[in-house]
C-alpha cells in the first residue's frame, strides 16, 4: 500500500493507540495537518503555544501512564518544545514529539523557519530522529514509541522535512521493534535480591525511599506489600508522592530540602536506606557526604546509570520496580520493628509541621489542607514550581498513584496550566485541581483559552502572594532580605482574566471563605479559577539550605525559639 509520509505518521499513531495529540500547525508540518481529516480517530487539540503542547502531552502521560504526543512546526515551533522535552527527560515521562522540518534540499541553508532541531534536542531527549525518507517513517515511529515507553521512560523527537511528509512509499508497520543498543533489564539480579533481603532482615532501622519509578511501573501494591510485611516506613520523594497512600500508617511523607523534618532526622539515624525508582537527587540528599551517614544503601532502579551515580551503594539492583519489589517482598521476613516505628513517631512529635499558626491570616498551607479535605483524595492535583508546590506536597493527602503531577527535576514554572489541561484529557472521569503560583500561572495562562474552549473540568487554585515566593524566601533567609526582582508591582486581576475567558471565578481573602469557594468551583460546569490572596510573608518550612545537612535545617522562622510555635 502506497501512502504519503503524512498518512504513514497517522497510520502509525493509530497503531500505537494514540487518541489525542497537542499541537500548533505551521508551514513545514502542514502536510500532516492537512491529512488529519482522513483520520477522525486522531483527536488534535489546538493549543496556544508549543511549550504548552509539550507540557500537555507530559500531563497526559503522567495522568494516564500512556505516551503523550505533541506536534509542532519547524524553527520556532520546535524550539518552543525545548523546555517541555527537558522537563520530561528529567522526570522520565514518555512523550513523542513530532516536528516539521524544512524540505530536505533546504536543510543547512538557513532556510525560513529552519532550526537544527535534532541537534538542539539531542541532550534533552532519550533519542531523536531526522527522517530523510518516507519509507523509514513506520520503523522510526514504532521505535520512537517503543523507546519512549520502555525501561526508564522519556521523550523522543521525530523531525520530518516537509517534502518527506508528501513523499509516497510502501507502508509496512513493524510488528516488533528490535534495537540491539536498547534492551532494558527488567528482572533484578537474583543474587542481589537475596543480598538485599538479607540486609533488610538484619536492619534495625530501615527506610524505604520511593520515587517516580514506583508510580511509572505501577508498583504501588508491591511497595505496600514489602513495607507492611517488613514493617518499613515509606518516605516518598517529590515525584514519588502518590505511589504510597498518605493515610497509610507507614507513610512518612517527603524527605529533603522541604520535606517533613522528622524524615530527614530519620534518614540521619537509619541503618538501611532502600531507594526504589528514585535517583538520590541533591534536593533529597542535601550535602551528599553527610547523607544517611549510618546507613547501607540498597538502590533499585531500571536505569543502571543512576545506580552509584550520586551515593555509594551497598546492594545495586537494576530492574523494574514492580518485579524487584515483588521479589523482595517474597524474600523478606515478617517483622515488627516496634522500636524503630516508635522512634519515628517520637521524631514526628518533636518536629511537627507548622500548622495554621495564625488564624487571622490566609495561609497557603491552610488552603491546601481545606482543598485536600474537600477532595478526599478524589482529584488529580497538578502544580507548578515554588512555594505553592511545596505546600501542596507537604499538606495534601494522596490516596492513589497518578493523582499528583508536578515538575520535579527541571523545576518548570508554568507547568501547572498546560499539564493540568493534558491531565484533563487523560482522565475525563476526574476533577483536575491545578494548584498554581501567581508567577507560574502568568507564564502559561494563555492556555486558559484552550481549557475554556473544551470546557475542561480544570479548577485553578492560585496561591497568589503577588511575588515569586520561593525566590523571596531565599532572599529573606540567605541574602539579607534584599528582595531583587521577586515582588510584582503590577499583577493583573485574575478574576477579570477568568471572566475574559468565560471561566467561573471568585476571590478569597480570608480563611472563612475558603470552603465555600472550593465548593463553588466544584459546582461550576467546566473550569474555575479561585484567586487565593495568601499571606505574602509566609515561608516554606522546613528548609534545608542547598548543599547543607540536616543539622542546618531551619524548622521555623529564624530567631524564633525552636519550636516556639508549638506552644
Residue window 152-191: x/- pattern of binding to another protein, with contact defined by CB under 8 A:
---------------------------xxxxxxx---x--
Look at the block and give the residue holding cell 500512556. Answer: 66
The CB-of-182 to another protein minimum distance in angstroms stands at 5
Query: Closest CB to another protein among 309 and 342?
Result: 309
- With respect to another protein, which residue has the nearer C-beta, 108 or 355? 108
What is the chain's alpha carbon radius of gyration, rounded to the nearest angstrom?
24
DSSP, residue by residue, 184-195: ---SPPHHHHHH
CB 472 within 8 Å of CB 481: no
Q: Which of 191, 203, 220, 194 is nearest to 321 (CA)?
A: 220
Helix-then-strand count for the chain, H and E: 23, 20
Residues forming beta bridges with residue 118, ordered by sequence position: none
Inter-residue contact 530 to 507 (CB < 8 Å): yes
**Which H helix or E strand runs over 139?**
helix 137-149
Sheet of strand 251-253, all strands in order from the earlier edge strand to the far edge: 251-253, 234-236, 206-210, 272-276, 296-301, 315-318
Nearer to another protein, 136 or 548 (CB): 136
- The set of residues, in sequence order, having a beta carbon less than 8 Å from that of 199 and lying 6+ positions away, is 272, 296, 298, 314, 315
Of 58, 140, 53, 146, the closest CA to residue 95 belongs to 58
> Least separation, in Å, of the C-beta of 156 and another protein?
9
Q: How far is CA 6 from CA 20, 38, 99, 164, 172, in A?
A: 16, 11, 12, 8, 14
Residue 127 as a binder of another protein (CB under 8 A): the answer is yes
Residue 373 in 3-state DSSP?
A: helix
Residue 227: CB minimum distance to another protein, A: 24
Q: State in angstroms the smallest separation of the CB of 184 from another protein.
A: 6
Stretch that binds another protein, among 123-131, 200-208, 211-219, 547-555 (CB under 8 A): 123-131
Strand order of the β-sheet with 20-23 is: 43-46, 20-23, 68-72, 95-101, 155-161, 127-130
The region of 89-97, 115-123, 261-269, 387-395 touching another protein under the rule CB under 8 A is 115-123
Q: In the bound complex, what is the minimum distance in angstroms from residue 310's beta carbon to another protein?
A: 10
Which residue number, 310 or 399, has a Cβ lying nearer to another protein? 310
For the CB of residue 109, give the shortest distance to another protein in the complex, in Å.
18
Question: Which residue in 308, 352, 520, 536 binds another protein (CB under 8 A)?
Answer: 308
| Residue 266 or 302 having the CB closest to another protein | 302
Confirm or reject binding of residue 74 to another protein (CB under 8 A).
no
3-state secondary structure of 280: coil
When binding is defined by CB under 8 A, the residue of 46, 122, 546, 562 that contacts another protein is 122
Q: Distance between alpha carbon 559 and the CA centroid of its chain, in Å?
A: 35
Smallest gap from residue 158 Cβ to another protein (A) = 13
3-state secondary structure at position 48: coil
262 belongs to the binding site for another protein (CB under 8 A): no
Q: Of these, 172, 204, 309, 330, which contacts another protein (CB under 8 A)?
A: 309
Tell which one of 38, 105, 119, 562 touches another protein (CB under 8 A).
119
Q: Is there binding between residue 312 and another protein (CB under 8 A)?
A: yes
Q: Between 20 and 317, whose beta carbon lies closer to another protein?
A: 317
Rounded Cα distance between 8 and 1, Å, is: 10
User: Closer CB to another protein, residue 311 or residue 534?
Assistant: 311
Q: Total binding residues for another protein by CB under 8 A? A: 31
Q: Which lies closer to another protein via its Cβ, residue 161 or residue 253?
A: 161
**If binding is defined by CB under 8 A, does position 359 make contact with another protein?**
no
126 makes contact with another protein (CB under 8 A): yes
**Measured CA distances, 63 to 56, 60, 289, 301 (Å):** 10, 5, 36, 21
Phi, psi at 50, each rounded to 5°: -60, -30
Please report whether residue 269 would count as binding another protein according to CB under 8 A.
no
| Residue 304 touching another protein (CB under 8 A) | yes
Min. distance of Cβ 15 from another protein in angstroms?
A: 21
- For residue 500, how many other CB atoms are within 10 A of its CB? 12
Contact flag: residue 133 with another protein (CB under 8 A): no
Tell me the three state secondary structure of residue 23.
strand
Q: Mark the segment that binds another protein (CB under 8 A) among 56-64, 168-176, 222-230, 309-317.
A: 309-317
Which one of 255, 316, 386, 408 is in contact with another protein (CB under 8 A)?
Answer: 316
CB 409 to another protein: min, Å: 15
Nearer to another protein, 282 or 303 (CB): 303
> In the set 46, 105, 249, 305, which binds another protein (CB under 8 A)?
305
Q: Rule CB under 8 A: which residues touch another protein?
A: 118-119, 122-123, 126-127, 130, 147, 179-185, 189, 192, 303-305, 307-309, 312-319
Amino acid at each position: 500500500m502506497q501512502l504519503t509520509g503524512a498518512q504513514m505518521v497517522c497510520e502509525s499513531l493509530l497503531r500505537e493507540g494514540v487518541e489525542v495529540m497537542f499541537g500548533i500547525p505551521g508551514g513545514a508540518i502542514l502536510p500532516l495537518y492537512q491529512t488529519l481529516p482522513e483520520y477522525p480517530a486522531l483527536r488534535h487539540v489546538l493549543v496556544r503555544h508549543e511549550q504548552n503542547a509539550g507540557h500537555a502531552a507530559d500531563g497526559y502521560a503522567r495522568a494516564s501512564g500512556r505516551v503523550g504526543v505533541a506536534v509542532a512546526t519547524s524553527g520556532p515551533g520546535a524550539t518552543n518544545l525545548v523546555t517541555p522535552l527537558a522537563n520530561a527527560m528529567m522526570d522520565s515521562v514518555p512523550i513523542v514529539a513530532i516536528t516539521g522540518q524544512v524540505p530536505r534540499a533546504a536543510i543547512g541553508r538557513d532556510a525560513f523557519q529552519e532550526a537544527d532541531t535534532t541537534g538542539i534536542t539531542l541532550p534533552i531527549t532519550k533519542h531523536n530522529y531526522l527522517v530523510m525518507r518516507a519509507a523509514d517513517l513506520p520503523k522510526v515511529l514504532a521505535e520512537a514509541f517503543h523507546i519512549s515507553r520502555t525501561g526508564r521512560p522519556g521523550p523522543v523527537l521525530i523531525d520530518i522535512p516537509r517534502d518527506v511528509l508528501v513523499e509516497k512509499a510502501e507502508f509496512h508497520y513493524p510488528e516488533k521493534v528490535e534495537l540491539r543498543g536498547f534492551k532494558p533489564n527488567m528482572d533484578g539480579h537474583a543474587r542481589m535480591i537475596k543480598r538485599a533481603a538479607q540486609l533488610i532482615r538484619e536492619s534495625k532501622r530501615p527506610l524505604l525511599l520511593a520515587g517516580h519509578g514506583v508510580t511509572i511501573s505501577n508498583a504501588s501494591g508491591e511497595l505496600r506489600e514489602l513495607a507492611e510485611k517488613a514493617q518499613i516506613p515509606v518516605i516518598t520523594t517529590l515525584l514519588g508522592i502518590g505511589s504510597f497512600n498518605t493515610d497509610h500508617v507507614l507513610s512518612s511523607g517527603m524527605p529533603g530540602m522541604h520535606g517533613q523534618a522528622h524524615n530527614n532526622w530519620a534518614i540521619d539515624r537509619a541503618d538501611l536506606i532502600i531507594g526504589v525508582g528514585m535517583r538520590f537527587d541533591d534536593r533529597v540528599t542535601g550535602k551528599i557526604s553527610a547523607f544517611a551517614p549510618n546507613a547501607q544503601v540498597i538502590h533499585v532502579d531500571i536505569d543502571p546509570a543512576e545506580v552509584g551515580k550520586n551515593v555509594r551503594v551497598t546492594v545495586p539492583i537494576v530492574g523494574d520496580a514492580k518485579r524487584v519489589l515483588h521479589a523482595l517482598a517474597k524474600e523478606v521476613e515478617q517483622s515488627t520493628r516496634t522500636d524503630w516505628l516508635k522512634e519515628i513517631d517520637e521524631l514526628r512529635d518533636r518536629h511537627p509541621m507548622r500548622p495554621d499558626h495564625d488564624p487571622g491570616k490566609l495561609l497557603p498551607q491552610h488552603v491546601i489542607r481545606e482543598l485536600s479535605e474537600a477532595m478526599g483524595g478524589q482529584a488529580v492535583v497538578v502544580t507548578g514550581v515554588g512555594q505553592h508546590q511545596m505546600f501542596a506536597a507537604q499538606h495534601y493527602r494522596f490516596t492513589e498513584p497518578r493523582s499528583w503531577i508536578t515538575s520535579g527535576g527541571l523545576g518548570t514554572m508554568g507547568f501547572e496550566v498546560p499539564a493540568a489541561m493534558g491531565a484533563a484529557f487523560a482522565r475525563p472521569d476526574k476533577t483536575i485541581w491545578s494548584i498554581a503560583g501567581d508567577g507560574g500561572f502568568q507564564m502559561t495562562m494563555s492556555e486558559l483559552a484552550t481549557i475554556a474552549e473544551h470546557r475542561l473540568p480544570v479548577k485553578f487554585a492560585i496561591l497568589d502572594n503577588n511575588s515569586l515566593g520561593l525566590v523571596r524566601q531565599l532572599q529573606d533567609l540567605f541574602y539579607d532580605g534584599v528582595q531583587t526582582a521577586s515582588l510584582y508591582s503590577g499583577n493583573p486581576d485574575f478574576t477579570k482574566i477568568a471572566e475574559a475567558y468565560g471561566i467561573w471565578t471568585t476571590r478569597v481573602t480570608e480563611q472563612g471563605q475558603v470552603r465555600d469557594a472550593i465548593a463553588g468551583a466544584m459546582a461550576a460546569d467546566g473550569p474555575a479559577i479561585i484567586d487565593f490572596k495568601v499571606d505574602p510573608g509566609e515561608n516554606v518550612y522546613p528548609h534545608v539550605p542547598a548543599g547543607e545537612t540536616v543539622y542546618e535545617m531551619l524548622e521555623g522562622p529564624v530567631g524564633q525559639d525552636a519550636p516556639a510555635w508549638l506552644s
